[in-house]
């Protein structure tokens, strides 16, 4: 995905903020795009999610997939905003589609060694289409990912079966993000769910 000039300016601004106590730009105008609005409206949630990814990286989870169950859940926007939040905290981040994952891995010195601190976010697409979970398909889709953040719409269905299937493949589940939630909506996880982080407003 490409950035327009405004998105690029916003992300560049985030990259210059100090990691400690970094705060979003106040009151973004309508011209700054939905990413800026989401970051400003739910900075605490974005910062919490970035901290989860940082902790996972410190455990050796370098490649983080962002995966869901259906098209138009907001995964691409989530990847872009999460990358901006991580960069605001001083992290080196690369965002790739699944088709480029192997090429990016080859380009990174050390191939994921303890000295390589880069975080790779993968806009991983749909891993859980309607119907029963097909583990062979899931194994292929998740190939190359060390961990995953699951995404679903706030009105969609989740479930512990997805997490269990991933964990059986050795993929750590870092949590679940709900998109298209009402502004300010946040709730405690239901039975079988990981800690939910709700992003205010809709994600295109």
Number of domains in the chain: 1
> What domain range is 168 assigned to?
5-200
Give pTM, 2 decimals.
0.72
How many Cα atoms occupy the beta-carbon half-sphere of 171 within 13 Å?
A: 27
Measure the CA–CA gap between 49 and 47, rounded to whole angstroms.
5
User: CATH number, domain at 90?
Assistant: 3.40.50
Q: With left for phi above 0 and alpha for psi between -120 and 50, is residue 21 left, alpha or beta?
A: left
Reported as a single tens digit per residue, the pLDDT across 87-120 is 999 999 999 988 887 666 555 544 444 456 889 9
With beta carbons less than 8 A apart as the criterion, state whether 71 and 204 touch. Answer: no
Q: Which residues of the chain have pLDDT under 50?
A: 1-31, 109-114, 186-204
Reported as a single tens digit per residue, the pLDDT across 169-181 is 999 999 998 888 7
Three-state secondary-structure class, residue 122: strand
pLDDT at res. 115 = 57
Tokens of 148: 């995953």
């Amino acid at each position: 995905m490409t950035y327009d000039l405004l998105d690029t300016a916003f992300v560049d601004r985030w990259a210059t903020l100090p990691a400690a106590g970094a705060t979003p730009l106040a009151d973004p105008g309508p011209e700054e795009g939905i990413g800026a609005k989401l970051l400003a409206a739910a900075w605490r949630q974005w910062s919490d999610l970035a901290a989860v990814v940082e902790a996972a990286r410190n455990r050796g989870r370098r490649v983080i997939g962002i995966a869901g169950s259906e098209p138009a859940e907001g995964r691409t926007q989530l990847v872009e905003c999460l990358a901006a939040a991580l960069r605001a905290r001083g992290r080196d981040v690369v965002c790739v589609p699944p088709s480029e994952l192997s090429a990016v891995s080859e380009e990174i010195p050390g191939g994921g060694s303890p000295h390589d601190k880069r975080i790779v976010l993968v806009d991983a697409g749909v891993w859980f289409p309607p119907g029963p979970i097909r583990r062979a398909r899931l194994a292929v889709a998740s190939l190359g990912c060390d961990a995953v953040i699951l995404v679903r719409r706030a009105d969609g269905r989740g479930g512990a079966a997805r997490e269990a299937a991933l964990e059986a493949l050795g993929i750590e589940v870092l949590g679940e993000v709900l998109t298209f939630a009402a502004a300010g909506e946040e709730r405690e996880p239901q039975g079988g769910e990981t800690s939910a982080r709700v992003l205010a407003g809709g994600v295109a």
